[in-house]
Structures are given as structure tokens and as C-alpha cells.
Amino acid sequence: MMRPGVSFSLPVTVVVSIITFVYCCTVFVFIHRWFGLMTSPGMINALVYTGISIMCVFNYAAAIFADPGLVPSTYMPDIEHSKVFIHEIKRKGGDLRYCQKCSHFKPPRAHHCRICKRCILRMDHHCVWINNCVGHANYKAFFVFVVYAVIACFYSLVLLVGSLNSDSRIDEQQRDSFRIIYVVSGLFLLPLSVALSVLLGWHIYLILQNKTTIEYHEGVRALCLAEKGGTVYQHPYDLRAYENLSSALGPNIFCWICPTTGHIGDGLHFQTSYDTIPAASK
């Protein structure tokens, strides 16, 4: 479902401009100078890089335009349901979590975004670079976009270095113009590769723990409080590693690099490590 109120965003425009610039430099300068676009290696590299770029842009658009997940106004926590082991409560007072601004109860893992001005299901964070929250319905698209962006950046860097070592014969004027392109491309690609790799590593860690960014920081506080109280804190949504991966990316491993969302459920209920308690006690 497309989110309402999509408007112009300068950060998104900057990202799209960088993607376009890097793609044009990679295909029409790096690949062309190293292999030649009309040669078999040149065409193969151009097609592969174009495919990666298309997937990158497609997932980026999906993360931008998809509604991250809106809490239904009619949502009510089912506190009497015997199979529900967890009801998230306020840290102060112990009451069920209620959003005064949206005037409804918050489902597990939902949080109010002060920028979007609404509660987001399984909210991870608000990302200025997609002008949208990263939440229940668009988290996978965001993650897969980062995966393809990292691959594209490193692929482009390899082609940049390779084309620099090529022995293309060009005149001095062309050499100066290419030098500018290489310097500007390098200034974009090097920090982008590092930053996106760190971001990818961070979200791989979160997925393996079945946590959001918000839950990670909340877990740090809960762990400190548990240690002071002499108890052990365990993240309730942390299943085994493969189950955590499947809950975020889907049960079919061949679809993990595609922005499919048929596996995510309604965003109001999530499997927890306590769901196996009745079966284990029998």
C-alpha cells in the first residue's frame, strides 16, 4: 500500500542524483575505458551493473513510497487471550502503552514518529534519506536496497581502479576531463562504500537478533536494569537465527533479495520465544 502525503525531499533528490551520476560514470567511463562498451566483457559488465542498479533503484522506490505500517484506529490489546504471553507496558506506571497524540493503544513494537506524526508498526527508525519511516511494511525493501547499494558501490570501485590501470590512448584534453570524473566519483564512492557497509552490518546484526534499532537501545537499558536487579534480560522476539532471518526476509531463501512482503503478517502480533512454553511443559 502506498503511503499518503508523498512530497518533495531534498535528501531523496540528492540520493537519486548520486545514483544517476555513479551509474553513468561506471558504465560510460569506467567500463568503456577498460573494456569498451561494444566488446563482450564490456557488454556483460554493463548489463550486470545495470541489473544491480535497477534492483537498487526499485527497492529504494519501494522503501520511499510504501506505507511502513499504520496502526489501525480500532486496535485494542487482547489482554485476556491465553495464548498472548507479552503485552508491552509503559516503563513508568506499568500501564498498557497508549499514544496520546494518536488516541489509540500501541501494538507490540509500534512507536509514534514525531516526524510522520503517527504510530508506525514495528518501527525501526525514521530515515531522512527515504523521507519515510522504516517500519513493518517497508523494512525489507530498505534492507535489500542497502544490500544492492553496497554491491553497486564496490563493483563501481573495482571498475574505477581497473579503468585507471588501462592503457587507453586519449589526448591530453580528454585526460583532464576524465581526471575530474575519477576524482569526483572516488569522493562519492569511498565514503559511501564505508558508510553503507557499516549500515548493512548493523542491520544484519539486528535481523539476526530480531530487533529494531529502537528495541536495541531499549534492550541496552533493560539489560542494565536487569543486571542491577540480579536478573537476566532476554529479548522476547529473539528466535533462533534462521527463524529471525525468515521473519524479516521471508521463508524462501531465493526471495531474500527481492522486496516481497507476503510473509510479514499484520504487524499487530509477533511470534515470541515464549510461544513454545506450553508445548515444552507438556
Is 24 annotated in the active site? no
Phi, psi dihedral angles at 253 (to 5 degrees)? -65, -25
Residue recorded with cell 511494511 = 137
Are 241 and 208 contacting, i.e. CB atoms less than 8 angstroms apart? yes
Among 113, 127, 255, 258, the one annotated catalytic: 127
User: For residues 22 and 32, what is the distance between their CA atoms, to the nearest angstrom?
Assistant: 14
| Cβ neighbours of residue 24 closer than 8 Å, sequence gap 6 or more | none
| Cβ neighbours of residue 64 closer than 8 Å, sequence gap 6 or more | 6, 12, 130, 131, 132
| The pairing of beta strand 111-113 with beta strand 118-120 | antiparallel
Active site residues: 127
